[in-house]
Amino acid sequence: MLCWGNASYGQLGLGGIDEEIVVEPRICEFFHGKRVSDVGCGRRHTAILLEDGTVYTCGCNDLGQLGHEKTRKKPEQVVALDAQIIVALSCGESHTLALNDNGQIFSWGLGSDGQLGLNNFDECVRVPRNIKILSDVQVTQVACGYWHSLALSKGGHIFSWGQSRYGQLGLGMQGHSVPTPQIIQSLQGIPFAQISAGGAHSFSLTLSGAVFGWGRNNFGQLGLNDTNDRCYPVQLKSLRSQRVMYISCGEDHTVALTKEGGVFTFGAGGYGQLGHGSTNHEINPRKVFELMGNVVSQVACGRQHTLAFTPTSGKIHSFGLGGNGQLGTRSTSNRKSPYPVKDPVLPPISPPSTGKTQTASIEDVSVQEPHRKLCTLNEEIIQKWLNHSPGRLPLDISKPLLYSTYNTYCTCVLFFLLFSHPDHYCTSSKYSGVDMNMARVLFHRLVRPGHPEISQQIAASLEKNLIPRLSNSPPDIEALRLYLTLPVCPLFSDQNNYVTIAIPFAKSLISLKEAPLKVLGNWWSRFEPPVFQRLVELYKEVVVYLLKMNKVGIPSVEQRIFTCFLDTSLRLLELLHKVSDKAGHIIEYDKFYIHELDDLIDIRRDYVTWIQRQMYPMGHDGVVTLCRYPFVFDAQAKTTLLQTDAFIQMQIAVDQAQMQNISSMFQPAVESVNPCLILIVRRENIVGDTMEVLRKSNNVDYKKPLKVIFVGEDAVDAGGVRKEFFLLIMKELLDPKYGMFRYYEESRLIWFSNKTFEEHDLFNLIGVICGLAIYNLTIVELNFPLALYKKLLKRQPTLDDLKELMPDVGRSLQQLLDYTEDDLEETFCLNFTVTEDNYGVTEVLELVPNGEEINVNKSNRQDFVNAYVDHVFNNSVAPLFKCFYAGFHKVCGGKVLELFQPNELQAMVIGNTNYDWTELEKSTEYKGEYWADHPTIKLFWEVFHSLPLEKKKRFLLFVTGSDRIPILGMKSLKLLIQPTGGGEHYLPVAHTCFNLLDLPKYTRLETLQEKLLQAIEHNQGFNLA
């Protein structure tokens, strides 16, 4: 051991030497042949720890700080600790702490401020005494300030006691001393790696490099850009991205060491102890540039001096106050910049320990990384648990199990951090620093069917200790890692643990305040889709489990608890759905569907209840309606909801009509009205006739059931006539002769033409027609992009929508955004204008005021793309879409639309083209003499499956009135085939009202094919054949 500095009290352990000041490192011969593992330096005393766990002290003993009554000039063993194996120690102004291998703390020396933690304020305690209040806590680190003390437990809790004049205990108070260890509550849940104490300030360091400081700040020693004291821990955010791995505190200054070997200092600099070549104070962390080029592995602070150790050279650099020789430079001069300590020729030495005016350093001892003393899950621990034979776990295994995984809620994620990868030091609101795959693998190794005793203990600890302690406002983002890792534990997926673990965890999660929830959302958004999907599936299964329980029957006294559980699970799913949606669909929206809902709840009643709650809010009345969470409804459920809404609206309209008709019988002034909306139209003037009827109709009429009559045709409208009406009128309205819409060849889609000469009423009519189609559950041919349905649901179109409508333009704009070279302006030559061709005339339109004068460059290209998209979908067609929107919402306005995604609304309007011809055959039913294996039916399907796609679509149009598939798929068409009288010279006849096909009993394949093709090519017009 080497030592230097003030020796006037014998604190260097050099025996009876004449010098009071030792200005260069000197070997302490007393420890020759002994292995020193740690040294602690106080103001006038020193404590030395040997590898075998024995403790020696030397120096001033006027307040009992040596722990014995022997001579102070040379080291003497603290015999009161003979029965203990001490593993760490620390010295304050005049008190000492020692930590044994069982995590117990012993203290002695000055106790007038309660710094000994013995629940008294005794002036001095001369014999080490155990701090019994911490006897049930496994402590891994201790740190002494001048008159206060800190301890870090194996579970990550930080305890403080002693003087609190400047808030150095972090307990939220100043002035009062505290004689017993207290948990710093505001730091609960964060995985800490190290603690450090200065004169009257304190610091703690997390596993991923977050730094928290509190206490005295008169010189800026907390690094918070001011000189105000803090009585609560505050994060030093300026160091968050620096990968700090060690903190050391002097009397009024602080040093931070980074993983790359960089050194930052801040606080008092009056003696040059900050190493910046000046005596200035620094209120913000500042890097010591004169140490650049040297990879520093350890730092230590004295009262007003600093040391930095470089392992590659074995050199120690010192700077600051040198009046007592504490810099070891053979001089008593101060040093404002790092200067090498004069060192005799020795093997590489370990990091130094510094006191107020003395310094000690140890030969050949490796540096312990702070986190190695903390509890972490690792392969060795897990294997030890798994190797134990089944049955009750002995205490030596079960206690570490509970401590190292769940008993304190910050440590179960420690091993999952990417210790092997430096990125975990970059933990931020965007990056969690957690290896989710490793977490999943280890959890699944730990929780196995063959080891129920381990699973039971973990489950009990989760339920009773971990989840109940979760805070809704964690002090740092590192505490949020728990919310990522815990759900991958197999215990969460066990139905037996839903009520005790999964749901309470979800409650804690959704109770988080806005800021931590936002961080968690950012982390979730970086999940791989399979990982995110597993979390979604977990809580979908919880919801299904709860609904099944409710269907079986829940006692009325437990109904409120059930409601709370269900609401909690759905709210978590809602949170995940929002994250997925915001991140551009981590998983597709249909992955949130709960397909079992149709069997588990009365969807119609749920919708009615939801509507009632919307109309007449009743506060929290204990009722959960799933319509509040529409993302869980699949196509079948949403169709049921739409049908329910349509039925309610139609019934209201019919009832109103009937009431008016009854009134007209007694009051001649009141006209009678038809309970249905009747459209009598001519095929040759379908648009004009429809416009005439709708103009005379009130909004309430649109809610009535729709009946269509074609003049001169005797078909009864049971659905088929209505289907053909929608098909024909949309085909007419979209005809280019009107110029209402522009057709895009590449995408084969249409959009509003901003140069139409038609009246805006026609756009209103198209909106009404679309609304009526949805309302009457009829699909129509309307080749608009998804953007239309986004706008109908008040969502903004994006560049992706432009890519769908105008693929070439979309690709060009994406290339503009992706361009990385500096010559963007010269390459693209764009300004904030758009060129359009209208009826052969080229027109240049400005996207923003003075757009011609604004060139597109790297800084504003996103603005240009946004303006372009806004122009196409919004500004250029605003009055036209406004009319369309108004017409649509005359019919379909209401709460039911809030339940739909744009894709789902699109499928409701136009159906889809997910043709499954095999499913069509399977779902077809037969009447009369026909059955699935009838010879004619076999011939029919053989012919049908041989037809090209276009002919099959024509067949659908012939039989059903539309060539598209309803949102529920092919099976929902319910095609019906029946035999008909007459011979083989007759054609098949379709009754589109009923999706019914009259098929003569053909015996030859060629005849059937010929007649079928003839029939589907001439399918306009209805009769009652």
Residues with catalytic function: 993
> What is the phi-psi region of residue 797: left when phi exceeds 0, alpha when psi lies from -120 to 50, beta otherwise?
beta
The C-alpha angle with vertex 405 and arms to 404 and 406, in degrees rounded to 5, equals 115
Task: Return the residue matching tokens 């946004």.
Answer: 866
Q: What phi, psi does 566 have (nearest 5°)?
A: -65, -45
Q: What phi, psi does 233 have (nearest 5°)?
A: -60, 140
Closest CA to 891 of 1001, 788, 774, 780: 774
Task: Return the residue matching tokens 């005797």.
Answer: 714
Tell me 18's DSSP state: S
Q: Which tokens sit at 73?
A: 């000039």
DSSP assignment string, 837-901: EETTEEEEEESSTTGGG-B--TTTHHHHHHHHHHHHHTGGGHHHHHHHHHHHHHHH-SGGGGG--
Tell me 501's DSSP state: I
Q: How many CB atoms lie within 10 A of CB 609?
A: 16
Q: Which residues of 511-549 are buried (b: 16+ CB within 10 A; e: fewer)?
A: ebeeebbebbbbbbeebeeebbbbbbebbbbbbbbbbeb
Q: What phi, psi does 873 have (nearest 5°)?
A: -95, -20
Coarse DSSP helix, strand, coil percentages of the chain, rounded to the nearest 5 percent: 40, 20, 40
Helices 514-525 & 559-582 angle (0-180, nearest 10)? 60
Please list the residues that pair with 58 across neighbouring strands.
Answer: 46
Residue 869: partners with Cβ closer than 8 Å, 6 or more residues away:
797, 798, 799, 801, 802
Residue 678, helix vs strand vs coil: strand
Please list the residues that pair with 752 across neighbouring strands.
Answer: 741
Distance, CA of 785 to CA of 804 (rounded, Å): 7
Q: How many CB atoms lie within 10 A of CB 937?
A: 18
